[in-house]
Amino acid sequence: MAEINFLEIIDLLGTAAFAISGARQAIVRKLDVFGVLIISFVTAVGGGTLRDVLIGNTPVAWMRNEQTIAIILAGATVTMLVNGLYRKLRNTLFLFDSLGLGLFTLAGVDVALQAGFSPGMAIALGTISACFGGVIRDVLLNQVPLIFHKEIYASACIAGGVLFFGLRYLGIDNTVNQVLCICSIVLIRMVAVRYQLSLPPIQKNTNT
């Protein structure tokens, strides 16, 4: 019971964070109101939707739950209206985005475990849930997805997922474990951005 409520809160917070970050990117690209709403929506639910479609969990999550749509509309609308505040809120928004990343990874792992998948597959599905909303957003904005060539992003999700199964193996309480892993993902992401860490591009030696 407590766990279900915790996961619901996870889901709503993560959704709001991603909706706001998606709306911001769409505004920067000068889309109209409808475009901003759609990009906001896709960023927030794209990863979970892809996960649900791949495992056959339909209708997909956001269609079973009016709250999700309400939160996204609210997040996108506020972002459009208070856009002048962007510079002031920069750090808060980055924290939101990192929280969304951690929250969605663990929610995805949970869905995968409930559907009977192995730990490896659960980590993959958690990473897809967390990262592919941003991938679909970038594709719609006609860009090579950011996470393929910049920043520690998906790697943080994978690390968080591995940690989750490690702690689970040690018998840690599930909710405590989820909170710990979400915090780890947020931390990895923050350290990576602060110190501008990123995965190296694969060097192609064209002379050999």
Which residues of the chain form contacts with a second copy (CB under 8 A)? 26-36, 38-39, 49, 53-56, 58-60, 63, 66, 69, 80, 83-87, 115, 117-118, 120-121, 124, 135, 139-145, 147-150, 154-155, 198-205, 208
Dihedral sign, Cα of residue 19, residue 161, residue 62, residue 142: positive
Distance, in Å, from the CA atom of 58 to the CA atom of 60, rounded to the nearest integer, reads: 4
Residue 154 C-beta: closest distance to a second copy, Å: 5
Our CB check for a second copy shows the closer of 85 and 176 to be 85
Nearer to a second copy, 28 or 183 (CB): 28
Full DSSP string of 97-152? HHHHHHHHHHHHHHHHHHTT--HHHHHHHHHHHHHHHHHHHHHHTTS--GGGTSSS
Nearer to a second copy, 140 or 186 (CB): 140
CB of 41 to a second copy, least distance (A): 9
Q: Judged by CB, which is closer to a second copy: 99, or 154?
A: 154
Closer of 107 and 147 to a second copy (Cβ):
147
Question: How many other CB atoms are there within 10 angstroms of residue 49's CB atom?
Answer: 22
In 3D space, the residue among 26, 12, 24, 50 whose CA is nearest the CA of residue 126 turns out to be 50
CB neighbourhood size of 139 (10 A):
14
- DSSP symbol at 61: G
